[in-house]
A and B are shown apart, each in its own frame.
Chain A
Amino acid sequence: MNITRVEVTPKEGEGLRDVRGDVVRRQLLADYGIEVSKIRSIVGFLISSSISPEEIENRADDLFADPIIEYSCTNELFIANTELFKNSPDAVISVGFKPGVTDNPGAAALDGFKTLFPNTDTNSKISTYITYAFYGLSDEISIDWLSGTLHNQLIERAIYSTKEDCSNSNWPEIQYTPKPEQVFENPKHISLEISDNELIDLSEKGLLALNLEEMKTIQSHYRDPIIREARKAVGIVTDSPTDVELECLAQTWSEHCKHKIFASKIHHVDKETGEDSMVDSIFKTHIMKPTHDMQKEVDWLLSVFHDNSGVIAWDENWSICMKAETHNSPSALDPYGGAMTGIVGVNRDILGTGLGARPIANTDVFCFGPPNWEGDLPENLFHPSRVLRGVHAGVRVGGNESGIPTINGAIVFDDRYIGKPLVYCGTVGIMPRRLVDGRESHIKTPSAGDVVYMVGGRVGYDGIHGATFSSLELTEESPSSAVQIGDPITQKKMLDMVLEARDQGLITCITDNGAGGLSSSIGEMAEYTNGCEIDLAKVPLKQPGLSAWEILVSESQERMTIAVSGKNTKRFEALARLHEVEATPVASFTSSGNFHVKYNEDTVAFLPIEFLHDGVPQLQLESEWNPPQLTEFIPPVNANHDEILLKMLARPNIASKETWVRQYDHEVIAQTAVKPFVGVERDGPGDAGLIAPIHGSTHGIVVSCGINPRYSDIDAGAMAAASIDEAVRNAVCVGVDIDKIAGLDNFCWPDPIESEKTPDGKFKLAQLVRANRELERVCRAYRLPCVSGKDSMKNDYGKGENKISIPPTLLFSLFGDHPDVRMTATSDLKVAGEKLYLVGESLDELGASEVSFMFRDEDSSMGIGGNVPKLTNPESNLSTYRTLSKTIRQGLVQTSHDCSEGGVAVAIAEMCIGGRIGAMIDIDGTGDNSLWARLWGESLGRFIIGVKPENEEKWLDEMKGHKVTYLGKTEQQDNLVINDGFDEVINLNVNDLVSSWQNTLDMTGGSQ
């Protein structure tokens, strides 16, 4: 084997520039205010192959470098080349991946290498690195710190040269480092005949995340004489589990996979009302039951809860589905890799729905600490701006490279998300109602005897213990193996192949490999036929030496598990070869009642399917509600509302996210009819995404979301209701058919189980109970079935006094039907003379409002307490929404915007920004006596609507009986004027609104 180094650096001059280096320069300026005069970049490849360095050098410009724009060199360092790098730099930093971490450029280079050198040996490997040379760097900047900002030591390594090193020509030189050897270990027998304390110890040390009762349930399983007899028959240790079995149970029974808190029996006490009651499974009571009740009333709810996503019938030929997931813990440790695996992971949930759906739209909602945070950071946590950059880049690369448009989302900021960022990724899918062979595609059809393939990527040491790890709080010692980087192109190839296989009728059952790996994917599918037999020795590995339990539970990405009936295996394998996708038969379905795992001939795990899936004991939990005592928000007297509006528009929670969102492809597939940004300059906020996925047809799908975590400070129940209402309002804004909408509930909570490390567990659980009761009440009233959902219940950082718990957060995502995407409305004001109306009513609801938080941020003695927005009469809201939405589809309304954070003032400002036109409105008579409530309050159920004068009468006629108040009209002038009766309260130039709104989160450092 030769190790050959090839380096590539951009040519400069004649209009050519080193953009890669320039991007780093701009980011240092934007994030830290550090000015560097120039940064140059060099990309390096370390090739381990049987091809000689001379041969590689001869072809370097055919593969590694593009000779039009780049120079290459072989087996030398560019930085030492005094012709190209004349001046001695002030610092040089070289960053490469740690051995074993996914190196996508390296994998692509290897593919190209094989095109050029088809005879290279099969063990050839290429790893990559990047070197930055800094010029004009202040001596005050620590190079160690600088190198820290350019890499994540969990997955990357960096070496650097200081100014002095540079002047002595001591250059950083990353060497090729093979992956560390893995040693295969035979399955161990783990005796559970130990004390309770030792059982707990075993769970904690082994990262099993099982509690004592669960450990004891497993213990007694192995004491059962019938079980022992059965185990003897297959030749596995009879009286204790193997490590394979224990790991498999820990994965399957993890909070992440089994949602034990949502399934628990809760003793709920309400100190406010005196209620004392039992809730037997929040999930079954408040989520599943209402949806199943609604399923009896409509014919379009095809598949709810049990599959990887919820499926609804969209028209005669197509059904659509949606799923949202969180990837919080991995994103905290490695924002880029964590978020990327989040988005490509939820794409696989869609691909694994029914017999395979095609992902057609992504959504993403992030919750971060403030990007301009200047306070302390706990050990091992990144600055919020770095988390934002990394998460954004991961989702951008994952979504864009997969060819799936990102059409909707949000970014929410609160200090407490410094402890744990929330990264919600959602995907909408579409599939034909029936396949050519007549099967309904939302129903899986496995039979005993089907061959089970693992398709896509290989299994490696990465991603071991992801599911159990995310069921624990984040600590300084969180494991690096729980972090992975996605490989969207491997997944895209697999996706293309799987959808062809589906259309050819080759698939009988499919699911994705996410949390818990093969253990979960095959384990879950085996429930259909009641049994399976797996041979782990057949599983293709990234590197040899993985032990049986590691193969079974590794969460290595880009894998689907697919069952194919015996007669179709040849065609299936041929299709995989065409697409250059690896597909390996690793198991078969049986009806034995057992999850039977072998390694070659040896049985290494033998668990009854029933025990595996239903054996976990129900948790018994305590919940107690005491309303939080908060200082009330009392608006200051003599406030300058002009000043407040400009400051509100610049608040991260309200400010434009355009520079971030524009970096997502939101238009691939040629279907996006309402884009994330709208208006004259295409920079006003869109309320919901609207797509027409069938080319040539105007039939549409609406996708929207709602999220209001700060209302939980007063009442998590109100938080949940507000999130649902916001999602529905956003969908109404674009004209959704309100009678065909479906929702997804994604709960992210701090640990709500009372314990030493969580003394306030009862309160946090009471918040969960209240949130779910409101979820049921509002969803029933809106006839909005929840068809899929997920919960992430351990969003805390650290322990004791320094513990940071996130505010209880429900993301409510919605997808719904739209008969004709041409008949829609957007938030930008359209023309002068447009008549503006408020739909709904402004109440005295300033509690936990954005304006209250603004004042508290400025003066910590101010409070945020008070009346939190409530949904008192959702039935009446629904009726208004139905009519309003209908008038949009009738073409009576072209302008609509929902009122949320910042109330009427911010909503109308955003509408002026989108339309680049002024408006004059009067908020007298729009609700409560308090001007603050009418201007800044966040009461639910409200919209600002613009109608052309010629449609006004007709529209008012349609809206008869609903609360509608005339506000004013757009003016062909540069100012937004808001009056309260005879008092002018706001008068601002639209251009000033634009710059306040756009500057805060720009963070690009410019475009040149």
Chain B
Amino acid sequence: MYTPKVAVLFGFGINCDHETAAVFELVGAQAERIHLNKFISKEAVLSDYDILAVPGGFSFGDHLGSGRLMGNRMRFSLRDELHKFVEDGKPIIGICNGFQVLVKTGLLPGPNGHQNLPDFQQRASLTLNDSGRYEDRWVTLEFDPNSPCIWTKDMTRIDCPVRHGEGKFVMPEITDFDKLAENNQLTVRYVDPKTEIGKGITDEPLPFPISPNGSMRNIAGVCDSTGLVFGLMPHPEAVYAKWLHPDHTRGNAPGPKNSDSLGEWEGEGLQIFRNAVKYIQNNR
């Protein structure tokens, strides 16, 4: 079986690089933490990798808006490389600050339509939570089963922590959301854990803290039209194991739903990373 190579970006205040690399390794990839400047200086070559991960953190301290300065560096210095990466059918994930970076480079949600390649136009933003506070709390997420997103295949509902102050997903016009919804790009939403599994997704704004940030249409994450580029505010890597779920001490942390899981101890978040690894193994 081919071992996909994952580039996990770090530097400038990215801080979830260790665990993001670790979860890819757990699902059979070879992950390398690489400083962004290595790609910019051509010391490292993006096309040598199969998957790109932009982890969470506080790149440039979130000053001038989260993800903005890191996004600019990528937009101005790695534009062609990123374009080619998606064109070559390689998946990209941005988590938390990484999602903010991808939104601000314009990679997410990307141009409308079907299988459109990146044009690096910013169309959405992630702004301050309605609460005005950075918070670390657990939320429940549900996935659009019809999303083209290769990262979320066969996923229905998971619990995850959010840890952000700027996670409210916004776009200028209501019709912008309709277009994304049409294409099933509103991949993952905050849902009320009391709803029936598979029926939690709603466009109506959910109250705090079910929706931790007041995100429009309760959006937690979106993908681009190719389904290769995916970003989300919550941290699936932070629940790679059951013992990281707050309910593990109550004996009822939700476990893996997948038959090829690593074992009884696997947490719900790991499947996202396994999906990308399998995608590479199946489509290479």
**Chain A residues near B (Cβ < 8 Å):** 10, 14-17, 19-20, 22-23, 26, 62-64, 66-69, 104-105, 107-109, 111-112, 115-116, 396, 400-403, 488-489, 492-493, 496, 578-580, 662-675, 678, 680, 682, 692, 695-696, 698, 821-822, 824-826, 828, 830, 894, 1004, 1007-1008
Contact = CB atoms under 8 A, between A and B. Distances in A.
A664 B133 CA distance: 10
Nearest to B129: A19
Given A493-B12, A695-B22, A403 B134 contact: no
Contact of B170 (A15, A116, A667): A15
B122 A68 contact: yes
Contacts of B26: 695-696
A396 B57 CA distance: 14
B19 interface: yes
A68 B11 contact: no
B99 to A, nearest CB: 15
Which of B62, B240, B265 has the most CB atoms of chain A within a 10 A radius of its CB?
Answer: B62
Given A493-B11, A671-B244, A826-B249, 17 more contacts: A19-B128, A20-B128, A66-B65, A66-B104, A112-B69, A400-B134, A401-B13, A401-B62, A489-B12, A579-B11, A668-B16, A668-B56, A670-B22, A670-B235, A673-B248, A674-B249, A830-B251
Contact of B136 (A26, A580, A664): A664
Which are the 9 A-B pairs with shortest beta-carbon distances? A403-B15, A108-B63, A695-B22, A670-B19, A23-B132, A68-B125, A19-B128, A1007-B131, A401-B58
Contacts, number: 203
Contact of A19 (B76, B127, B242, B265): B127
Contact of B132 (A20, A578, A665, A669): A20
A895 to B, nearest CB: 9
Interface in B38-91: 38, 41, 43, 56-58, 60-65, 68-69, 72-73, 76
12 contacts: A68-B171, A105-B64, A107-B63, A108-B61, A115-B72, A401-B62, A578-B37, A667-B238, A668-B238, A673-B244, A696-B22, A830-B251
A111 B76 CA distance: 14
Contacts of B5: none
A672 B246 CA distance: 9
Given A16-B170, A64-B64, A662 B135 contact: yes
A17 B10 CA distance: 32
B72 A66 contact: no
Given A105-B64, A579-B35, A666-B136, A115 B131 contact: no
Given A492-B13, A579-B35, A112 B130 contact: no
A731 to B, nearest CB: 16
B237 interface: yes
A22 B127 contact: no
A539 B10 CA distance: 29
Contact of B37 (A26, A396, A580): A580
Interface of B: 10-16, 18-19, 22-23, 25-26, 35, 37-38, 41, 43, 56-58, 60-65, 68-69, 72-73, 76, 104, 122-125, 127-138, 161, 163, 170-172, 174, 208-209, 214, 216, 235, 237-244, 246, 248-251, 265
B172 A489 contact: no
A717 B30 CA distance: 55
A69 B208 contact: no
A115 B249 contact: no
Contacts of A662: 135-137
A865 B64 CA distance: 55
B244 A894 contact: no
Given A69-B127, A670-B244, A488 B132 contact: no
A89 to B, nearest CB: 20
A875 B237 CA distance: 43
B76 to A, nearest CB: 6
A432 to B, nearest CB: 14
B275 to A, nearest CB: 18
Contacts of B136: 662-667
B16 A403 contact: yes
B13 to A, nearest CB: 5
B60 to A, nearest CB: 5
A668 B132 contact: no
Which of B124, B130, B265 has the most CB atoms of chain A within a 10 A radius of its CB?
Answer: B130
Contacts of A108: 60-61, 63-64, 69
Contact of A1008 (B130, B174, B235): B130
A578 B60 CA distance: 16
A406 to B, nearest CB: 9
B269 to A, nearest CB: 9
A824 B249 CA distance: 7
A112 B104 CA distance: 14
Contacts of B129: 19
Nearest to A734: B249
A403 B58 contact: yes
Nearest to B96: A668
Which of A671, A692, A830, A1007 has the most CB atoms of chain B within a 10 A radius of its CB?
Answer: A1007
A353 B283 CA distance: 47
Contact of A17 (B123, B130, B161, B238): B130
B216 to A, nearest CB: 6
Contacts of A682: 137-138, 246
A228 B140 CA distance: 74
A64 B64 CA distance: 6
Contacts of A19: 127-130, 132
A670 B238 CA distance: 5
Contacts of B73: 115
A675 B163 contact: no
B259 to A, nearest CB: 20
A110 to B, nearest CB: 10
Contacts of A26: 132
A488 B69 CA distance: 16
A10 B239 CA distance: 35
A116 B76 CA distance: 9
A489 B10 CA distance: 13
B19 A669 contact: yes
A676 to B, nearest CB: 9
Contact of B38 (A111, A115, A578, A678): A578
A578 B250 CA distance: 46
A826 B238 CA distance: 20
Contacts of A402: 15
A112 B60 CA distance: 9
B64 A109 contact: yes
Given A662-B137, A670-B244, A1008-B131, A400 B250 contact: no
A112 B64 contact: yes
Contacts of B240: 670, 695
Contacts of B135: 662-663
Contact of A667 (B10, B161, B172, B214): B161
Contact of B13 (A489, A664, A826, A828): A489
Contacts of A10: 127
Contact of A663 (B11, B18, B134): B134
Contact of A69 (B16, B23, B125): B125
Contacts of A493: 11-13
Given A108-B69, A670-B237, A69 B170 contact: yes
A695 B132 contact: no
B15 A668 contact: yes
B49 to A, nearest CB: 18
A492 B10 CA distance: 11
Given A19-B128, A489-B60, A670-B22, A698 B10 contact: no
A20 B127 CA distance: 11
A742 B163 CA distance: 31
A698 B214 CA distance: 36
A908 to B, nearest CB: 18
Given A68-B124, A822-B248, A1007-B130, A673 B76 contact: no
A310 B201 CA distance: 50
Contacts of A112: 60, 64, 68-69, 72
